Structure 1
Amino acid sequence: MSANNLLSLPFKATDQVRTPAQPPAASSPHPPLGSLNSQVATLADQVVAHIAATSETTHPDLVRPDAHAWQHLRDRIFAAPTGAVPLLSQATLSDLTAYYAQLTFVLTKLPANISVSFPWYPLYTSPSPLPSASGAFPTVSPALSLPNLEYERLSVLYNLAALHAALGTERRRSDEAGIKAAIAAYQNAAGVLSHLLTLLPRLKSSLEGLPPPTDLTAACISALRDLCLAQAQEVAWQKAVMDRLKNGTVAKIALRVAELYQQARDSAESARNGTETSPPFAFPDEVLRYLAIKAAHFAGVAQYRRSLDDLGANRYGDELGRLQLADQKLKEAAGLSKRGVPEAVVHDMKVGGYSTPKSLHKIVTENLTRATKDNDLIYLATPTPPSSLPPIVSAALAKPTLAPELLDPLSHLHAGAGGLGRPFLEALIPREAGEVLALWDDRKKMRLEEGVLRPAKELDAAAAKTLADLNLPAALEATQQPLGVPPTLLEKSTAVQAEGGLERLETMMQDVRRVAKVNQKMLQESNELLDQEAETDAAHRSGHGTMRWTRPPSDESAAPLRQRAEQLVGLLGAAGESDSLVRNKFGEWEEAIRILAGGQPTLARAIPSSTVSATALPPRKLATIRQLRASLDQLSDLRAARARIVDAARTGVAQADIRDKVLREAERRAAQRKEGEGEGVGLADFEGLLEAEGERVMQPYEEEIRRSGARQEDLLNEIKVLNDSFVDAGQSDSATHEREQALQHFDTAASKYHEMLTNLQEGLRFYADLSKLLGELRDACKSFTYARSAEAQDLSRALSAPPPLASASPAPTVEVTPPDTLAVPIPSRSSRSSQQTDGTPRSTRTSARTRAAGATSAGTPTRRTARAAAQVPTAAEEGPREEQAPRTRAQVEEPAPTPAAAGGWDPSQGIRFG
């Protein structure tokens, strides 16, 4: 038989996670829920559906096997469909530990609030009115279902503590092995509950301001933790008595037992009363009585044992004072109600009637009588009052212990030896990690633009402007090659031909005009939809009267859509101005580009020849020309090398993938973040990683661009000096000057061609991005007008119906609000006049949570012979009795009905028109 003068913790019962299956949308690419039963969606079905609906980076089929493994593990632990509690076994202990670790890992992948609800019954309640095994009728209570993973995880963790405590209560404490096992079990239970206390802030923050479950509060869990510690200390006290330790030592151990029981009682009373942040929890009266009896009993035990120590040290006044105090405490315990308290505990309080000849109270009474008589006849010492007694320093032998698998569960989630199994949902990219990866893509593109692309463009533009101001290389080529087309200009002509020449620019401008008209038409359709809805609403309001047509007017309901349309109108206007600038530039350079694209024959006809031969130039000028040509060639090579750096940077940035690092960091931070910060990991936590990775990827390219810029500055200064020498060496004739101007004109035309090509490409990308936003706006306007139309029909039908016989409240007002999903980033065009509207898509989900209320729940001897006659009880006399303890299990919920609301028209009010 097992000792039952100690209490087990109540288990937290649950139901299997099952909900009615929802039919999938006709266009849904995913299989329907409830593959085994078309009428029921299991836990696995709901998890897969949630991931399919919320994850943009992970296909639900990748996590489907893990979702089924999750369901299988939960159903194995809580086997009954309703009111299930864990079985008392070591195997269940391992399963609960593994499930807690899996939930901890899942919380690194999913937010705490998900679309899967987990039902759990409050402590000390039952889903059934049937009596328990002990014959008691428990409080009937429905389950509290919350769509919250922290709620599931903490409920599992609590059951792990309850299972440890139950295994400790089941142990026989008649030998040393049983005592050690019981102490370890209660200490493990206390350790688990202490860990649960540190996790409660996470649950509270994840509930978004709602009160936490009544049984998962700090006061409630503290009471149960101190109860487990008190019972572990009591078993340690039992061993101290069995080992016949000194009375002073036993007194210290017993006092700590009393302190822990009193702490548990105080916390239970605090939980009953509730706080500003925690709802009250109805601790059962029998539990409070048990704690009060135990606290008073062991306070008496401690004083009695210390009185024996005082007797041995001839402290007769202290002995009398402590015996009086022990008698007072034991009388206090005996005077408390025993209803619902384990019989073995009641037996400890009784006098006689069981196999033990004397109870502790009887022994204390007899010792007090003897000591009083001895003192009156022999010692005449004044009994020490309680306030003057030297305090007993308690000795704590029990302490909370926590298994490494619970302290650091993620490090034990592996399929190897000693592991808790492979993590569930390992393939799922967490929401926070997905946001970080999206931010990484934006950051690296931005840094590429700011650190490489823009500086490279600015350097190229600076070089081109300097050469144009110096009329180079046209002046040099006109002098060096007085006849024909210079090779550098032929290269640029070939490049223009390869890009498609003038025809490509004309085609792209037509495409830009076409997509601009399409975008303008989409915006016009959106405005027309809103205008039509406003006209319809105004007609209804006029027909029924403003006093009766109570829904919000169109200009108020459609304000967000109107505002969004105005923003897009501004963007289209700015884009149109940019398009006009490109068309004007095209008209200015069209003829030059046509000649340039014609190749060597057309260029030769368009470029005049010079009459001065290069061989007739002075030697000084020839030397300057050679030096200047060498510097220009170096500048050309430098620009080509810079273009290769830009291409390498584009490739490197595109290939820079930090997904694995982000996932590892997200899991590490989610597991090690400070308690009470709530679920998930913020983007700010990854700033260090993003900065370091950005520096690693971009720093080499940025350094190359900086060196290229410094080298270009030196070359341009050198070219300016050489050009001054070239000009000073001799003046060109008019023919040479005309040739210089022609060469410079066609060189500039090549630059303008590539500039317009870039502008048109950016314009097409801009309109493509803008068309997505305009399509979303048009769809939102269609949905808005459809909903408003249906609402108007219902309201009009209600107002036009014959009045009912009985008066009722006015027709209900339903407000249709436009969706907030249009607040998305607006595309920008770097080389155009653009307008940037910063918007971030946000979706607010409000989870309805149902809260279920918890239950309220001898002669005249000499002093030498008196010492020998002092009676020292055994451990059995002071405390434990052995008897089989009954176990109770909770069952299922019945949701409360929701009252219906009435509505209608009151004929007594008549019909009023606004």
Structure 2
Amino acid sequence: MFLFKQTPAAAATDGVANESSTLLAVKFKATEKITFAKPLAEYIASSYAEPPEAYRDDLRVLDELREAATAALDVNQTALKRNTRYYGQLSFILSKFPADVNISFTWYNAFVTESEASCADLYFERASVLFNIGAAYSQLGCREGHNDKDSLNRAFGHFQHAAGVFAHLRQKIVSECRTQLTTDLSAYMLTTLENLMLCQAQECVWHRSVLNHMKDANIARVAAYVAELYDLAIQSGSQGSLANTIPAGWLEHLKIKMLYFRAEAQSRKSMDCLANSHYGEEVARLQAANEYCNQINEIVAYDQRWSKHVRAAVLEMVKSQYELIASNRQRAEHDNDVIYLDPVPATPSLPEISPYKLAQPIIPEIVENPGMFLGGDELGPPLFKALVPFVIHQAASLYEDRKDQLVNKDLITALDELTADCESVLNSLNLPHALEAIQKPIGLPPNILVGSDEIRSEGGYLGIKRLIDSAIASNAKATDMIDTAEKALDEEAREDQRVRQGAIPNSPRAQRVESSELTNKFRADIAKYRSVVTRARESDATIKAQIDTWSKFFSLLGSPRDEIERQVPSTTANPITDPHHSQIVGRLQQYMSEITLMRRERLKSTENLKRIAAEDDVTPALNEEMQRLTQKQQQSSSSILQFELHQFEDVFAARLDKYMTWRKYIEEEREAQSELLDSIREANQAFIVARSSHPLLQQREKSLSNLEMAVKRYREASFNLHDGSRFYASLESELAKLRDGCLDFAMARHIDALELMGVRQGETPADLAQAPENSNASLAEQHLQRQQQQAPPPPQNLVWDPSMPLKYTTPK
């Protein structure tokens, strides 16, 4: 039916090249072999979390359906049913799997077999199969005879079904494909094929009208509509690039058929005029018909390409028509001139022949509504019926996204912002540190104690000092490596300039490649790394300044706890005894307790909201809604069950509505927090006034605040320096490669310069520009001489002395 590209007998099986037929059939699209079983099984296991073994039979049947369709090389009703069954099952499984499931389908252009399209798209597979169903209907129509009424009736139905399939493909199916399609699936081509099938269906009506000996006036009207449809096919077939894509000879065939049926309509109308004694109009009609015949003959005679591509049967049909019309015209003109003397009207003034429209596109019901035939003999039981439709997974994912947006991005974020606002206000009031100075006149707060333990474990101030010193040293080393690399390039550039001085034109010295052309990459890397090292140096300086600023606090925090406590002022020696002051402190403590309780309860509410959201499974509700939609579609005799995400909007709204109560809770929390913070501000103001009379309180409060900030600064510096240590280690490796590369390049160029200058072994001229250009000095000899000069002197005493201890050289 639709053929594998590699099938050698495919060209002989489509029945298109029937030279004895005056009708055109559509070729099949060819495809490559694929299997569904493995990719779909993997997808079921990974995406649906279901055992693919449960669908082993469905996978096997689906592969067999495609194999049966592609293996059916003969065009008959059985083959058509096989393809229709495969199409119906494809339509159904599209509600179960995503279109881009991991299977690549390859289909070739039906008319330009070198053109192909490949993609993982089930919609593309379905569109290609449907195209071949339309092609099968067209071929079945062409195979019917045109000499008996029953055959013509069957052909008429086949062509109308073909037109309906191509129309349905254009209007509904192709638009769902998600890939670049071949031109045989373009809107212009499908419109052309639809019009062509309607032309040939109406042509069957014309044949049947002639066989039934209908009135000539009615036959003329049938022929007029045939010509009109062929004209429409020509217009759509000439659009865009289709003129170069449409099969050779098709446009010629369509134009000849259009002219033929225009001539036929005028010829039949002339017979009606003769029967009604309209002799002048009869002559005019025959003259118009003869003009159409002449246009055909002129076109064929002008361009032999037409006669080459147009079938002989069509040309023979045209020839017979021309002879008949010419004979009738000669008779009619003679009789009118001699006997009737009826005025002959001009051709443009002849009344139009109203078309008799019978052919129309009819979509086979099994194509338009395959869901109605699932479970019956036509399509068989639906495959993967028990598999949850893919749209349910999409809907569940969409609901999760919306729920996450509502719960985490809106509700929880709003609660977190409330807590952050509360923290900001309390920090601006230096609470609870100011109260801790009153509540704990001696000792240290837990956060300072924990920070002190961390600082002490990392070596205290000396530990952080070693880290910054190491960073500064690493930066200096990196700078030195960059300078070494740049210096090597600069020295090589100066030597290259000296080599060129005084060189004979066109000599090797003069033609030597300049350094600047070879060192662009090196220079760019040096500039890049120098910028990186400079920025790192500036960052190290900032960290060092911070360490120097807080060095005394770092040293204190690295001390034992009792030492830190001795440095923090205590109020035990001068306790607060003012009753009014105690009352103010008590009220502020009460407010702080309330704010602590509020935040604790808010944290519990947040955790409860997260738990509710985590337990909120929308799948059962979606399944219930899907069953309701299924019943509704089945009651309306709908096609394959189509589920869209927007159909579940009511479910989404109902499920998300229960979270709206949390918005009210957030507003209540906002109002309660605002009132409580106002009370805290008022109480704190009174507390500040009362505390101003007790200097030790202020000193202790300031000390605790400084120590807490010092812990924070130490952690920041420690993190940055450890991160910088890893950075310098990586940078040093990269700079070593750059430095060695520059040194190797400079050495290679130096050796090349010596060879060009012809420097002899042991010679080092003061000015390279004055050295002779021709010399046979060996580079190897010079290299050996330098090694000998650098080697240590040989040992003088080569006799082993047992009294001397053994000495081992360090392996290199």
Give the TM-score normalised by the residue count of structure 2.
0.57
Aligned to 1:323: 286
Shift of 1:405: 8.3
Residue identity in the other structure for 1:262: D
In 2, the alpha carbon distance for the partners of 1:588 and 1:69 equals 81
In 2 relative to 1, CA 279–213 (structure 1 residues): closer, same or farther, beyond 3 Å? farther
Aligned to 1:625: 585
In 1, the alpha carbon distance for the partners of 2:469 and 2:214 equals 98
Shift of 1:389: 1.0
The 5 Å alignment of 1:269-288 reads 270=238, 280-281=244-245, 283-285=247-249, 287-288=250-251
Residue identity in the other structure for 2:354: V
Could you report, residue by residue, the CA deviation over 1:873-894 in whole angstroms, capped at 9, with x for unpaired residues? xxxxxxxxxxxxxxxxxxxxxx
Residue identity in the other structure for 1:624: I
Could you report, residue by residue, the CA deviation over 1:209-233 in whole angstroms, capped at 9, with x for unpaired residues? xxx9676766665544432221122
Q: Secondary structure at the match of 2:353?
A: coil
Aligned to 2:162: 189
Could you report, residue by residue, the CA deviation over 1:193-215 in whole angstroms, capped at 9, with x for unpaired residues? 456667999999966xxxx9676
Q: 2:260 aligns with which of 283, 288, 297?
A: 297
C-alpha contact 1:265 1:292 (8 A) present in aligned 2 = yes
Aligned to 1:123: 111
Shift of 1:646: 7.0
Could you report, residue by residue, the CA deviation over 1:354-407 in whole angstroms, capped at 9, with x for unpaired residues? xxxxxx667656655665466446653212222111122334433445568878
In 2 relative to 1, CA 327–451 (structure 1 residues): closer, same or farther, beyond 3 Å? same
C-alpha contact 1:483 1:609 (8 A) present in aligned 2 = yes
The 5 Å alignment of 1:878-889 reads none
In 2 relative to 1, CA 653–291 (structure 1 residues): closer, same or farther, beyond 3 Å? same
In 2, the alpha carbon distance for the partners of 1:330 and 1:188 equals 32
Q: Secondary structure at the match of 1:323?
A: helix
Aligned to 2:353: 392
In 1, the alpha carbon distance for the partners of 2:165 and 2:450 equals 74
Q: Secondary structure at the match of 2:256?
A: helix
In 2, the alpha carbon distance for the partners of 1:577 and 1:297 equals 95
Q: Secondary structure at the match of 1:321?
A: helix
Gap runs ≥5 in structure 2: 1-14, 301-305, 500-506, 622-645, 749-812
C-alpha contact 2:248 2:309 (8 A) present in aligned 1 = no
In 1, the alpha carbon distance for the partners of 2:513 and 2:407 equals 52
In 2, the alpha carbon distance for the partners of 1:44 and 1:545 equals 70
In 2 relative to 1, CA 579–312 (structure 1 residues): closer, same or farther, beyond 3 Å? farther
Could you report, residue by residue, the CA deviation over 1:787-820 in whole angstroms, capped at 9, with x for unpaired residues? xx9xx9xxxxxxxxxxxxxxxxxxxxxxxxxxxx
After the TM superposition, which of the residue ranges 171-180 and 500-509 deviates more from structure 2?
500-509
In 1, the alpha carbon distance for the partners of 2:522 and 2:177 equals 37
In 2 relative to 1, CA 342–721 (structure 1 residues): closer, same or farther, beyond 3 Å? same
Q: 1:109 aligns with which of 80, 96, 100?
A: 100
Q: Secondary structure at the match of 2:289?
A: helix
Residue identity in the other structure for 1:625: V
C-alpha contact 2:112 2:245 (8 A) present in aligned 1 = no
Q: 2:142 aligns with which of 162, 169, 182?
A: 169
In 1, the alpha carbon distance for the partners of 2:247 and 2:521 equals 50
Q: 1:725 aligns with which of 680, 686, 711?
A: 686
In 2, the alpha carbon distance for the partners of 1:473 and 1:163 equals 86
Residue identity in the other structure for 1:91: R
Shift of 1:255: 1.4
In 2 relative to 1, CA 229–182 (structure 1 residues): closer, same or farther, beyond 3 Å? same
Shift of 1:248: 4.3
In 2 relative to 1, CA 152–633 (structure 1 residues): closer, same or farther, beyond 3 Å? closer
Q: Secondary structure at the match of 1:609?
A: coil
Q: Secondary structure at the match of 1:89?
A: helix
Aligned to 1:257: 226
In 1, the alpha carbon distance for the partners of 2:534 and 2:412 equals 26
In 2 relative to 1, CA 438–644 (structure 1 residues): closer, same or farther, beyond 3 Å? closer
In 2 relative to 1, CA 560–216 (structure 1 residues): closer, same or farther, beyond 3 Å? farther
In 2 relative to 1, CA 576–85 (structure 1 residues): closer, same or farther, beyond 3 Å? farther
In 2 relative to 1, CA 333–639 (structure 1 residues): closer, same or farther, beyond 3 Å? same
Q: Secondary structure at the match of 2:355?
A: coil
Shift of 1:189: 3.2
Residue identity in the other structure for 1:123: F
Residue identity in the other structure for 1:300: A
Q: 2:83 aligns with which of 92, 98, 120?
A: 92
Residue identity in the other structure for 2:355: S
C-alpha contact 1:258 1:295 (8 A) present in aligned 2 = yes
C-alpha contact 1:104 1:409 (8 A) present in aligned 2 = no
Does residue 1:467 correspond to 2:429, yes or no?
A: yes
After the TM superposition, which of the residue ranges 601-610 and 225-234 deviates more from structure 2?
601-610
Q: Which has the higher helix share?
A: 2
Q: 1:380 aligns with which of 341, 354, 365?
A: 341
C-alpha contact 2:69 2:82 (8 A) present in aligned 1 = no
Aligned to 2:596: 636
Aligned to 2:25: 8
C-alpha contact 2:163 2:198 (8 A) present in aligned 1 = yes
In 1, the alpha carbon distance for the partners of 2:89 and 2:482 equals 57
Shift of 1:302: 1.7
Could you report, residue by residue, the CA deviation over 1:330-359 in whole angstroms, capped at 9, with x for unpaired residues? 5655785766655654564465xxxxxxxx
Q: Secondary structure at the match of 2:590?
A: helix
In 1, the alpha carbon distance for the partners of 2:541 and 2:373 equals 62
Q: Secondary structure at the match of 1:284?
A: coil
C-alpha contact 1:317 1:381 (8 A) present in aligned 2 = yes
The share of aligned pairs that are identical, in percent, is 20
C-alpha contact 2:96 2:384 (8 A) present in aligned 1 = no
The 5 Å alignment of 1:649-798 reads 711-728=672-689, 732-733=693-694, 737-743=695-701, 745-746=703-704, 749-750=707-708, 753=711
The 5 Å alignment of 1:804-883 reads none
Aligned-residue CA RMSD in angstroms?
A: 7.3
Shift of 1:459: 2.0
Greater relative CO, 1 or 2 (CA 8 Å, sep 6+): 1
The 5 Å alignment of 1:462-501 reads 462-468=424-430, 472-473=431-432, 475-476=434-435, 481=439, 492=447
In 2 relative to 1, CA 755–404 (structure 1 residues): closer, same or farther, beyond 3 Å? farther
In 2, the alpha carbon distance for the partners of 1:719 and 1:419 equals 73
Gap runs ≥5 in structure 1: 18-41, 126-142, 352-359, 662-684, 793-914
C-alpha contact 2:429 2:684 (8 A) present in aligned 1 = no
In 1, the alpha carbon distance for the partners of 2:170 and 2:488 equals 55
Shift of 1:234: 1.4
Aligned to 2:7: none
C-alpha contact 1:103 1:149 (8 A) present in aligned 2 = no
In 2, the alpha carbon distance for the partners of 1:548 and 1:252 equals 90
Give the TM-score normalised by the residue count of structure 1.
0.52
Shift of 1:173: 6.0
Q: Secondary structure at the match of 2:424?
A: helix
Aligned to 1:881: none
In 2 relative to 1, CA 626–361 (structure 1 residues): closer, same or farther, beyond 3 Å? same
In 2, the alpha carbon distance for the partners of 1:283 and 1:200 equals 24
In 1, the alpha carbon distance for the partners of 2:424 and 2:682 equals 17
Shift of 1:162: 2.1
Residue identity in the other structure for 2:256: I
In 2 relative to 1, CA 261–443 (structure 1 residues): closer, same or farther, beyond 3 Å? same
Shift of 1:169: 2.0
Could you report, residue by residue, the CA deviation over 1:557-593 in whole angstroms, capped at 9, with x for unpaired residues? 7999899978976886787578668856874654675
Could you report, residue by residue, the CA deviation over 1:160-203 in whole angstroms, capped at 9, with x for unpaired residues? 43223112223456777654543343234334545666799999
In 2 relative to 1, CA 640–509 (structure 1 residues): closer, same or farther, beyond 3 Å? farther
In 2 relative to 1, CA 765–728 (structure 1 residues): closer, same or farther, beyond 3 Å? closer
